[in-house]
Amino acid sequence: MQPLEALTREARALASGSYPVIPILSVNETEVGRQMMICNSCRYCEGFCAVFPAMTRRLEFGKADINYLANLCHNCGACLHACQYAPPHEFAINVPQAMAKVRVETYADYAWPAALGTLYKRNGLTLSLALVAGLALFLMLAAGLQGSLFHASAGGNFYSIFPHNLMVGLFAPIFLFAVLSLSLGVRRFWMDVSPGAATAAAVGDAADKVLRLKFLDGGHGEGCNNANDSFTLARRRYHHFTFYGFMLCFAATSVATLYHYLFGWEAPYGLTSLPKLLGIAGGVSLLIGTVGLFVLNLNRHPLQGDAAQKPMDRGFISLLFLTAASGLTLMLSRGTPILGLTLCVHLGAVMALFATLPYGKFAHGIFRSAALLKWAIEKRQPNSLQLGDD
Amino acid sequence: MVDVLVIGGGNAALCAALMAREAGASVLLLEASPREWRGGNSQHTRNLRCMHDGPQDVLIDAYPEEEYWQDLLKVTGGITDENLARLAIRASSTCRDWMRRHGVHFQPPLSGALHVARTNAFFMGGGKALVNAYFRSAEKLGVQVRYDTPVVSVELDGERFVAAHTAKGERITAKSCVLAAGGFESNREWLREAWGQNARGEWPSDNFLIRGTRFNEGVLLKYMINAGADSIGDPTQAHMVAIDARAPLYDGGICTRIDCVSLGVVVNREGERFYDEGEDFWPKRYAIWGRLVAQQPGQISYSIIDQKAIGRFMPPVFPGTSANTLLELAQKLGLPEQVFVKTMDDYNAACRLGNFDHTALDDCRTEGLMPAKTHWARPINTAPFYGYALKPGVTFTYLGLKVNERAAVHFAGRSSPNLFVAGEMMAGNVLGKGYTAGVGMAIGTAFGRIAGTQAAAAAKKVEHATA
């Protein structure tokens, strides 16, 4: 559908010899293409989300279109339960599942550096190893620096266990690498099906859809499907708890960084200080959100989504939970002998989380936001098709 | 013993079950299909034709009773019952709030269906979403639902319903009963019997595809007619459209339609045209093309277009056969080459070009050609060329049981006190022939709700009589 971008990419690929000249569809992409041809001649699901209106602007589905549509899909399940062609019908339409299978391929395909894209393939293992490595790192550091984990609660000051500069030196590069990696990945995704320049209205629209999780409302406001054909707002709400909890924790860290460098106010901060309040609120919110999402994930209808990705989904949810829980425990364990141990667990979890951000479930937020922005731009452009009334 | 037994699991059956339950009756609903195929033809529907005197949520302007009635009169050619038709029309103006209370969501028309923005309210997600919502509401209200339970016969005492007998031999009694088990479109033998053999010695119905459920075998309909229930309608009349010949035998639904007929020409197996493809807008003509194709040899035809039509019609579910010349297309489609090419040459030569506009009845037409193409006639001369094989696709049959305004089953003119019928099993009272979008759901909803209310009242009467 975007011949210029496709040609440019082909030319670039040809020059570098890094990419197949003709984008060959994967098995999963071919399946999405097959299903979209059927959906496009039915269109009953147009009211649920952005995937189907975006589909109706196309007659053919190339690799880039399929990757774009797959990332627009929120796996809400509405179209699966409403589908007259869902299994056991011979057309075997299951859009949420087909899209999920492609989605994880796009994360891997667009990953930077490309070699690390394979980390998506066995993501449960990736997360476990990252966590073990993170824990081991801090336990060994603590042991090395302090000689023991259990005597170091010098007034509850973490920096007496791990000096501030050491922590910055460890976390800053990992975090910046994650940001760089995700940015380069999503940039490649964007170039592939760039629908044009983003206007302020389009950016505002996309931000609204992202921040409100509009497409988990079912199109009618009663929510998405989870265990069966009934609607629930639980997933949308628990995702909000998780997302905004994460952002509050991020804000707590950011404020603390400003305090440290701008004002020279060093941690620990008081219970009513801004970093503490943000951190506590964020941590509690994360705990509620991740527990809710985990239970919903366990109860999800077996046909909805890709079963092979459950380890990635649940691994990421668990890592977020561990980060929040260890963070809150750390606060409560100040002045106790377990401070050193909880600090190591918390820092290990955070390190594992940061290190795997570009190679795990976290990527869904970035790619989906980009897809929603594409849609916000695309829908403001005139439709090139003039399909008559049926 | 349950108060009301509902036989069927589609829109009309569910409307009846919900109304009866709301009226305080205990209700048992028997669905012939397994759970995953529940809902009969309703799972393939998408909208409800609604009367309204002014703009209403998803409906624009007005669609007054008289206009609705005139539309129905036109498509049925007068083969309708004005009293029952107006009952359904009026009910369509007030039923949507009730539908919403049971979980149905409406939305503005889908892309490619703007021509019915004024007259039809679309179900968000289509008919299966509606069926799901009704089943959820029914279960929440305490309606008992049993799947995989086809009913093969009804035990009667004169005009009175006594019990239903299932295929597994179970006898289920109830104080009253609603029959809403669909037409007979998926009963190949009955279709064969109804359509018979034509002058060419063919059994036309053997080549029909069924757009709807495989579970509408018409077992109960046949049983009731044999048991002396009054019937109405011609067994060959049905909602019948021309669909892609590669569609599945059952449950092809909406996506198997071919919407490019008015943009090109249609030839039969002999390579000849047989009807004006540009007579009127496609939404007003698609319902006649099923019968037109059924009359052609082999019950097959071919819609032929060229590159100029691409992107101007709803995308078909299967890709068309394409070729760089008309001769090559004839070869690929297996059409007699010389006749086909001559048909196309004659047509191309007869096109009098005007200002092509497929959103209006334009002035592009043929001159001196039989049959003429009266609008949107443009020479088919731009490669690549595309061909789509068409077969008749039956949505539902119109032969049904005669009813009154209480939806009661009749025996030699006498109405049953406790046996009612709704949906396709009686739609023929209103729809003698022809079709207009969303009218099947309007009839099913109106008479399903009436039948449920009446059945609950009849069950109460039985209680009083025995108390």
Q: What is the pLDDT along chain B (467 residues), one digit of tens a residue?
A: 999 999 999 999 999 999 999 999 999 999 999 999 999 999 999 999 999 999 999 999 999 999 999 999 999 999 999 999 999 999 999 999 999 999 999 998 877 777 888 999 999 999 999 999 999 999 999 999 999 999 999 999 999 999 999 999 999 999 999 999 999 999 999 999 999 999 999 999 999 999 999 999 999 999 999 999 999 999 999 999 999 999 999 999 999 999 999 999 999 999 999 999 999 988 888 889 999 999 999 999 999 999 999 988 989 999 999 999 999 999 999 999 999 999 999 999 999 989 999 889 999 999 999 999 999 999 999 999 999 999 999 999 999 999 999 999 999 999 999 999 999 999 999 999 999 999 999 999 999 999 999 999 999 987 777 65
| Residue A7 and residue A23 in contact, taking contact as beta carbons nearer than 8 Å | no
Q: For residues B428 and B434, give the distance between their C-alpha atoms in angstroms, rounded to a whole number.
A: 10
CA distance A68 to chain B (A): 20
Nearest Cβ partner of B112 from A43, A45, A47? A43
Residue A211 belongs to some domain of the structure:
yes
Query: What is the distance between the alpha carbons of residues B423 and B426, in angstroms, rounded to a whole number?
Result: 6
* Residue closest to B281 by CA, chosen among B417, B101, B450, B437: B437
Mention every residue, 6+ apart, whose C-beta is less than 8 A from residue A23.
A6, A62, A63, A64
Q: Is the pLDDT of residue A21 over 60?
A: no
User: Which of A59, A78, A112 marks a domain boundary?
Assistant: A112
Q: What is the pLDDT of residue A147?
A: 72
Q: Are residues A225 and A88 in the same domain?
A: no
CA distance B288 to chain A (A): 14
- Measured between beta carbons, the chain A residues lying within 8 angstroms of B124 are 47-48, 219-220
| Residue A4 pLDDT greater than 80, yes or no | no
Q: Is B243 exposed, middle or buried (0-12, 13-18, 19+ CB in 10 A)?
A: buried
Chain B residues within 8 A of A85 when measuring between CB atoms: 253, 255
Does the distance separating the beta carbons of B44 and A84 come in below 8 Å? Answer: yes
**Mean pLDDT calculated for residue range A10-17:** 61
A168 within domain boundaries: yes
pLDDT of residue A335: 80
Q: Which of A44, A57, A81, A94 to mutate to test the interface with B (most CBs of B within 10 A)?
A: A44
Closest to A79 in 3D by CA, of A16, A142, A123, A36: A36
Tell whether the model's pLDDT for residue A325 goes beyond 50: yes
pLDDT at A9: 60
**CATH class for domain B240-393?**
alpha beta
- Tell me, yes or no, whether A238 and A340 share the same domain: yes
The answer on A123 and A106 residing in a single domain is no
Q: Report yes or no on A132 lying in a domain.
A: yes
Share of chain A above pLDDT 70, in %: 91
Does the pLDDT value for residue A196 go beyond 90?
Answer: no
Contacts of B210 (CB under 8 A, 6+ apart): B185, B186, B249, B250, B251, B252, B393, B394
Residue of A nearest to B314 (CA): A387
**C-alpha gyration radius of chain B:** 23
Task: For B123, name the nearest residue in chain A, comparing CA atoms only.
Answer: A44
Pairing of the two strands B106-107 and B120-123? antiparallel
Q: Residue A156 above 70 pLDDT?
A: no
Closest CA of chain A from B413, distance in Å: 39
Q: Could B311 and A229 be called an inter-chain contact, meaning their C-beta atoms sit closer than 8 Å? A: no
Decide if A53 and B111 are in contact by the 8 Å CB cutoff: yes
Q: Closest approach of chain B CAs to the CA of A60, in angstroms?
A: 10
Same domain, A91 and A17: yes
Contact between chains at B316 and A41 (C-beta distance less than 8 A): yes
pLDDT score at A390: 39
Distance in Å, alpha carbon of B71 to nearest chain A alpha carbon: 19
Residue type at B449 in one-letter notation: R
- Number of CB atoms found within 10 A of residue B28's CB: 21
* Number of other CB atoms surrounding residue A373 within 10 Å: 20
Is the domain of A93 the same as that of A167?
no
Which ipTM did the prediction report?
0.95
Calculate the average pLDDT of chain A: 90
Please give the pLDDT value at position A11: 62
CA distances to B94, B106, B117, B118, B124 from B121, rounded to whole Å, are: 12, 6, 7, 8, 9
Question: Across the interface, do B313 and A387 touch by the CB < 8 Å criterion?
Answer: yes
pLDDT at A162: 86
Q: Out of B110, B136, B311, whose CB is closest to A43?
A: B110
Please indicate whether, in this complex, the C-beta atoms of B253 and A42 are within 8 angstroms of each other.
yes
Same domain, A99 and A197: no
Residues A202 and A123 in one domain: yes
Query: Does one domain contain both A153 and A9?
Result: no
CATH code of B2-183+218-236+398-466, in short, is 3.50.50.60
Which one of A41, A219, A229 has the shortest CB-CB distance to B317? A41
* Together in a domain, A350 and A334: yes
Q: Where are the domains of chain B?
A: 2-183+218-236+398-466, 240-393
Q: Same domain, yes or no, for A196 and A55?
A: no
Min Cα separation A216/chain B (Å) = 15
Asked if A95 and A136 sit in the same domain, the reply is no
pLDDT of A19: 54
- Confidence at residue A2, expressed as pLDDT on a 0 to 100 scale: 47
Chain A positions touching B358 (Cβ under 8 A) are 388
Structural domains in chain A (count): 2
Spatial distance between the Cα atoms of A229 and A3, rounded to a whole number of angstroms? 40
- Domain that includes residue A65, residue range: 3-112
